[in-house]
Structure 1
Amino acid sequence: MSQSLTSEQPVATSLLKKKPLIISGPCSAETEEQLIATCTQLAATGKVDMLRAGIWKPRTKPGMFEGIGTKGLPWLQKAKQLTGLPTTVEVATPKHVEDALAFDVDVLWIGARTTVNPFSVQALADALRGVDIPVLIKNPVHPDLELWLGAVERLAKVGVKDLGLIHRGFASYGNTEFRNAPMWHLPIEMKRRLPELPIICDPSHICGNRTGLAAVAQKSIDLDFDGLMLESHIDPDNAWSDAKQQVTPQRLAELLDGLIWRHETTDQQEFLSKLAQMREQINQLDDEILHLLGRRMQVAESIGTYKKENNITILQTSRWNEILERGIQKGHKLGLTEDFIMKYFDAVHLESINRQNRVMNQK
């Protein structure tokens, strides 16, 4: 897929154009009373632009609460009438689309478990052909940008013009800090490839708890995300799904008040001039780093030639451990994190191995 969507260019209009766009509501619609109370309290805060509620819940195992189903849509419609706020729900099948449209839902979103399946996305795209409604697309469960981009492209090809993205983090084995690891470099790459699309952050599903919501929300703002989707419930501890990550409407308002909303740029000449100077320093340093990396790879190729002549394997585990240990210690003194050093040396090491492999297998 190209950097942008060429012939079918989706653009954010109307409901998705506001920045910041704040979407909130319960993880699941449970009862009419619960949904109406939550939505009216959210509206009363004056902080929310759109109401959400899970109607159909794709769960991991059968027997878990899978949503109240279509009978919850009239409740959401009533909440819209009472508050004057637009509504959004997750859809996973063409029947979901049909029912959501029948009850005047304003925005649809495609969940992570659906985005991961091109057949499901195409079925939704076919159901939305000719329908003028905004659609938000969550990242796939696992870190695969091509699937995320593919979902955008499938919807654009059937004429859905008003598209946006939701970053809700990615499943990763053994992860403990987050329910779904944010892997910020992936949504950043989506912003680079599709700068015309708004992207909002879903801290609730990234964190899986209440304590980290503010920090994740602030980081997304600092990265120039266009809004937030946060789950709210009048009685979070007794919610039927995802109780640990929901907050009361009052707490949501407090959380939002504590965030610092930043701007992408400014027209202040002094700032722009100083920033340009520092960016030029970065450019020069990057050039030096690339030059040094080029020289390093030349040495690696020479080592590969020497190993070939002496019939020695490419990988030397003890030497690799030595490089890592030395790099971590030196990096720590320079204020560099161990995680960064590991990722950097992994990339350099892989390129060195590839260079040596080519040298050793030349005929």
Structure 2
Amino acid sequence: MITTSKITTTDVKRYNKNRIFQLIYTTGKISRQEIADVLQLSLPTVNQNLKILFEKNLLIYEGNFESTGGRKAQVISINGAARYVISVNLSDKGIKADILDLNCNVIGNMRVPVKYEKGSAYGEMVADTVTRLVEHTGIDKAAILGVGITVPGIFDIENSTVVYAPTMGIKNYSLENIQRLLPYECRGMNDARSGAFAEYWFDKKDINPEKREGKTYLMLNTGVGGSYIDRENIRFGKHNRYGEFGHMTLYPAGRPCFCGKRGCFESYVSARCLSTDLGITLDIFFDKLENGNEEYKKIFDKYLDDLTTGINNLYIMSDGDVIVGGPVAVYLGKYKDIISKMLIDKCSFDIDGSYLSFAKCTQQQADSGAALTFFSDFISQI
């Protein structure tokens, strides 16, 4: 027997309210009439839903648009102070915490240059950093949706324990060591997935996200990882290890990797290859490269050869767009034509290399991906 679920009037009202809020969120500033036109809703329906959203303190008026004849239309925007999330990024450089309002503006940040160490002290330092940051900004604690914690490592299937973060020296570290000290929900995510989600979030200008295709994200940082995101759905894999692209074997029995194996992709294309391994920074490397340093040109040519081999493999497996992000990607944009040509030469099929793009997010935005999932959940329930 086939049964169908009946759509109620309440369902329709909630659907319209959510569409209206999402439209305002993605456009930033909009008028009542524009909302009605874009969503093909009547003005009474728009006004009824706006009234509810204003009563919930989710929207604000920001003056008026320029008149095109007649009465000036009011500017409707999101009230950034309605909700907040806290982004905590843990790395070998220390603890980095940011508070973002609902408009994703950073309203406060704190940096603590401490290294991970076993025992309770590290969790206490992370929690203390969050607590001091909240107190310093003076925001309403009740408006905080949660804390997103990013780590450059592999999590267990529940994302509650960092199984291994080689660049930090972490093995089997439970986030409960931090969660128990904070009154907010904490969520863990590796840094590559965080970057992928942030890239999706900050590029979320299409009001019909269901039309957007999934993309593979490759992050080039101290470590190398990645993710696949389709709309707002992140692929995790059977053991929560999807996207560990850095540990594809590029050269059997090649360079040693932090993971304990040899020849991993990460050993040839991480940020270290162009910076700390040479005793310099990425800025210095690319500055000298631009000024014709022959030694660095040879290193970079080899780097691009290895990088495009890995990217081509990802493209062949996914048959979809690949986005390259992370600190190294910031410098690679000007070499896109060279990289695209190398990709065309390496691909077995007739392509033009247009599947490749570079992340638009800043590093600070990329680090906030885990925290942004709280906004995603909140907005979907409006």
Larger Rg: 1
Structure with the larger strand share: 2
Structure with the larger helix share: 1
